[in-house]
């Protein structure tokens, strides 16, 4: 039996993450964790968990063979203050 790898995309509801999830879901079992999940047609039928990546534990990621981290603050204005967005972007 040929089983699909489980892929977790952290920050997967943004522009890049949703496009990547759409492509990968054809060949892999894809799941998404995002602090601010946004639904789109690309990620329809993909499990999405609302969670801040800072709070993830080993238990949250133990079932995934591949983890892609795309999380970050996408707002240029708020990203200009390094210290206010440090926990999101590092």
Short-list 71, 73, 49, CA closest to 61: 49
Q: Is residue 1 a part of any domain in this protein?
A: no
Q: Is residue 66 a part of any domain in this protein?
A: yes
Q: Is residue 49 a part of any domain in this protein?
A: yes
**Count of all residues that appear for the chain in the document:** 90
Summarize the confidence of residues 4-27 as an average pLDDT.
94
Q: Could you read off the pLDDT of 44-62 as tens digits, one per residue?
A: 899 999 999 889 999 999 9
Q: Could you read off the pLDDT of 12-21 as tens digits, one per residue?
A: 998 999 999 9
Number of domains present in the structure of the chain: 1
Q: Is residue 45 a part of any domain in this protein?
A: yes
Retrieve residue 30's tokens. 């894809």
Q: Is residue 65 a part of any domain in this protein?
A: yes
CATH of the domain at 13: 3.40.50.720
pLDDT at residue number 85? 56
Positive or negative, the CA dihedral 6, 89, 55, 46 is negative
CA atoms within 13 A on the CB side of 73: 16
Confidence of residue 79 (pLDDT cuts 50, 70, 90): low
Query: Which residues span the domain enclosing 50?
Result: 6-89
pTM above 0.75, yes or no: yes
């Amino acid at each position: 039996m040929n089983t699909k790898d489980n892929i977790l995309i952290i920050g997967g509801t943004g522009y890049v993450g949703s496009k990547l999830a759409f492509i990968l879901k054809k060949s892999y079992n894809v799941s998404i964790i995002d602090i601010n999940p946004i639904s789109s047609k690309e990620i329809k039928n993909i499990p999405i968990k609302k969670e801040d990546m800072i709070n993830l534990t080993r238990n949250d990621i133990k079932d995934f063979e591949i983890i892609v981290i795309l999380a970050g603050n996408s707002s240029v204005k708020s990203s200009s203050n390094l210290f206010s967005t440090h926990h999101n972007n590092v």
